[in-house]
Amino acid sequence: MSHVYIAHSTLDLDDLLKLHEVMRAASIPAKFSPDDENHRSRNNADIDNAFAMIVLVSATSVRSKAVRQDVERAKALGLPLIPYQIDKARLNGFFKQEVQPHLRLSSTMPDGLDQLVAETLAAYKRKCPVIAVMNLKGGVGKTTISAQVFGAWHAMAGGRILLIDLDPQYNLTQTFYEMDTADESASVDRSVISLFERSRLHARDAQSPAENWLELSTEPFAPVARDNLIHDIMADGNSSPGRFDIISGQFEISKYAFATDNDALERIKRHFLRQVDFYRSEYDLIVFDTNPNATFLTRCALEAADRVVAPMHTDIYSLRGVKLLNEVIRTQIPVGKRPALSVLFNAVGRSEQSTFEADARNGEFDKVAGFPLSRALLKSALPRSKHLAVKAPQSGQPAWKQLAIHSGRGGGLKQIRESLKTIALELKALSDETH
Ligand SMILES: Nc1ncnc2c1ncn2[C@@H]1O[C@H](COP(=O)(O)OP(=O)(O)OP(=O)(O)O)[C@@H](O)[C@H]1O
Ligand SMILES: [Mg+2]
């Protein structure tokens, strides 16, 4: 669980509580120190797990030994510092050196508090980016890439990765689990539907949102503990450190495509965005596999995502899908909230198709695409390979065995693993650089 840590002096309690409330309203988990030397060891664990530190700068906090120690620890860990000045404190040497260079916000600024929330939220998102794998064209490899490229990311970089199956076809879930297991999970609402509506996972007496397609529940609900919702494809302690989890999909999320109550849908979308933000605190990366047609689910995915990865084949139909996707992003998502778009060539063969790839890289299709496609293309591409063909999970076999990076035999596997790793590395570098 990660949170923002608020360093403060005991005398600034009113400001601290106000700030804590503001963070809660913005769905940003926050912790603060009791400012007591005896609790120092507990504070240290809280600082170690934080994604950023807000420092309340005041006449008393500049003199507090505890605050000084907090800041020193943040510095040693490389935590982003977000100082917020709440009175006319005179900075001492330590604060001048360590805090002042980051100090831009104060309570005297008319929108100081809003900016503080925005900066903290940005740090929260940097800690765990959200990537949507999407193309408004079917069968281009979205599901394959969601599983295999991010499986390779996990194998290389470790960390905690969460896959969310946002496609009503729920092929990603079926990549890892047999149909019966997936459906059993859905039958108790242990699935993606519990990110949208209050379900039996949130309250035993609740009606299942999957039961009635015509009813939308807009009742607010608190997120459930991660372990009650996810399935672990690869738990901590296996060959890679970290975890590789999935929130399984189910067909009934199609109901939102049929719903006509726009107010209810808007609220359900907000529930979804809040839930995703909540689970960011427990992961380093969240990945959505998405449906190929533009629906309410597409909008939800685009609003939550920091980056879209669009797989495309070397053909004009895929190109058209990417063109439409770019249009949907531009027309539906306001500037400033738009996810970055990266395009990944998939199932590239050696023959004449590579001409298409070369042309795309040379900018030949930028005009048809309606945006600089050549600049959005990832340098690496995923070749066509029999090792990436769909294979049903075997009964009794662990789910991670479905990942090409960890399992399988046969010629060409080494090359495909190299490709998966190269793509994962390129995406990771892009993600790190954006932030
Ligand atoms: N690089 C590849 N090499 C060989 N086969 C591939 C490759 N990428 C995808 N496939 C195969 O192509 C088919 C479609 O892939 P996938 O299901 O990942 O596409 P999708 O975009 O998720 O489809 P949908 O739009 O239906 O969700 C699958 O049978 C998959 O195994
Ligand atoms: Mg798919």
Interval 235-281: pLDDT, tens: 876 555 689 999 999 999 999 999 999 999 999 999 999 999 989 98
Q: Which contacts (CB < 8 Å, 24+ apart) does range 407-412 have?
A: 410/386, 412/385, 412/386, 412/387
Q: What is the mean pLDDT of residues 109-114?
A: 95
Give the Cα-Cα-Cα angle 279, 285, 288 (nearest 5 degrees). 80
Q: First-to-last CA distance in the chain?
A: 21
The per-residue pLDDT for 435 is 53
Q: Give the side-chain half-sphere CA count within 13 A for 268.
A: 26
Q: Is 403 helix (H, G, I), strand (E, B) or coil?
A: coil
CATH class of 128-434: alpha beta
Q: Please, which residues have CB within 8 angstroms of residue 277's CB and are 6 or more apart in sequence?
A: 27, 28, 124
pLDDT, tens digit, 9 for 90 and up, residues 10-25:
889 999 999 999 999 9
Nearest atom of ligand 1 to the alpha carbon of 140: 21
Q: Give 338 Cα–ligand 1 centroid separation in angstroms.
A: 26
Residues at CB less than 6 angstroms from ligand 1: 138-144, 167, 169, 171, 292, 346-347, 382, 384-385, 388-390
Q: Give 123 Cα–ligand 2 centroid separation in angstroms.
A: 31
Nearest atom of ligand 1 to the alpha carbon of 289: 22
Choosing from 144, 309, 380 the residue with most ligand 1 atoms within 8 A of its CB, the one to mutate for a pocket test is 144
Q: How far apart are CA 94 and CA 100, in angstroms?
A: 9
Answer whether residue 163 shows pLDDT above 80.
yes
Average pLDDT across the chain, whole number: 93
Answering whether pTM is above 0.85, one says: yes
Q: What is the mean pLDDT of residues 95-120?
A: 96
Q: Is 232 helix (H, G, I), strand (E, B) or coil?
A: strand
The per-residue pLDDT for 141 is 97
pLDDT, tens digit, 9 for 90 and up, residues 30-81:
998 766 655 666 678 899 889 999 999 999 999 999 999 999 999 998 899 9
Query: Which ligand is the nearest neighbour of the Cα of 139?
Result: 1
Q: Whose CA is nearest to atom 16 of ligand 1?
A: 141
The per-residue pLDDT for 213 is 87
The per-residue pLDDT for 408 is 82
Q: How far apart are CA 433 and CA 330, in angstroms?
A: 22
Q: What is the mean pLDDT of residues 185-211?
A: 96
Q: Where are the domains of the chain?
A: 3-124, 128-434
Q: Give 165 Cα–ligand 1 centroid separation in angstroms.
A: 15
pLDDT, tens digit, 9 for 90 and up, residues 341-374:
999 999 988 765 578 999 999 999 999 999 999 9
The per-residue pLDDT for 373 is 98
Query: Which ligand is the nearest neighbour of the Cα of 137?
Result: 1
CATH class of 3-124: alpha beta
Query: Which ligand is the nearest neighbour of the Cα of 312?
Result: 1
Q: What is the mean pLDDT of residues 301-330?
A: 96
Nearest atom of ligand 1 to the alpha carbon of 146: 18
Positions of E strands within 69-121: 81-85, 105-106
Nearest to 192 by CA among 308, 267, 271, 261: 271
Query: Which ligand is the nearest neighbour of the Cα of 419?
Result: 1
Q: What is the mean pLDDT of residues 77-96?
A: 94
The per-residue pLDDT for 27 is 85
Nearest atom of ligand 1 to the alpha carbon of 384: 3
Residues with CB under 5 A from ligand 2 (ion): 142-143, 171
